[in-house]
Amino acid sequence: MKQKAYQFAFSVAPVVVIVAFLSTIFLANANPSFAASGKKKSSVVDKISAVDHNEARIKQLHETLKITDAQEELWKNLTQVMRQNAKDMDAINKDMAENTQTMNAVDHMKFHSQITEVHLDQVKKFIPPFETLYASMSDGQKKITDTTFRTERHGKHRRK
């Protein structure tokens, strides 16, 4: 009896994991206001662009991290990467918004895979200028930076 329960648990576990994964992906794009209002709203109109969000983030980080005049060139190098990453993400989001209605489930999964790969490439581009800037920081700035990057979700809005 115990062996059957054990076999059942192992045969059901992969299905549960797959269902949870797919639910997360498909429900992440759900718009609850659609159900409430009865009308479909454009998610592109409702969302702030990555470029606009990034510009606000750059300004906020500049102040929070207390970037000095001596670090401005290093900061400029970092923000150049951040700005290009935001432009690239806006282009991907626009493509998704334009094509989401015609995508089947496989296309949708491939698109999410593409987004993940682009995000990984963006992080890889971000690290070298960030590492250089970090190396130039005082101990106090490093402490602020460590706390900021440890406690915030970068590129995402904080959950309330």
118-159 per-position pLDDT tens digit:
999 999 999 999 999 999 999 999 999 999 988 865 544 444
Same domain for 131 and 84: yes
Domain count within the chain: 2
Residue ranges making up the domain that contains 107: 49-154
Q: Are 118 and 88 in contact (CB under 8 A)?
A: yes
Same domain for 59 and 11: no
Mean pLDDT, the chain, rounded, equals 75
Please state which of the ranges 30-34, 54-58, 103-107 shows the lowest mean pLDDT: 30-34
Same domain for 18 and 54: no
**Angle, to 10 degrees, between the axis of helix 72-99 and the axis of helix 105-135?**
170
Same domain for 56 and 126: yes
Same domain for 117 and 72: yes
Same domain for 133 and 60: yes
Q: Are 115 and 63 in contact (CB under 8 A)?
A: no
Whether 35 is covered by a domain: the verdict is no
φ, ψ of residue 56 to 5 degrees: the values are -65, -40
Counted residue by residue, the chain has a size of: 160
Same domain for 130 and 93: yes
- pLDDT score at 127: 95
Same domain for 144 and 113: yes
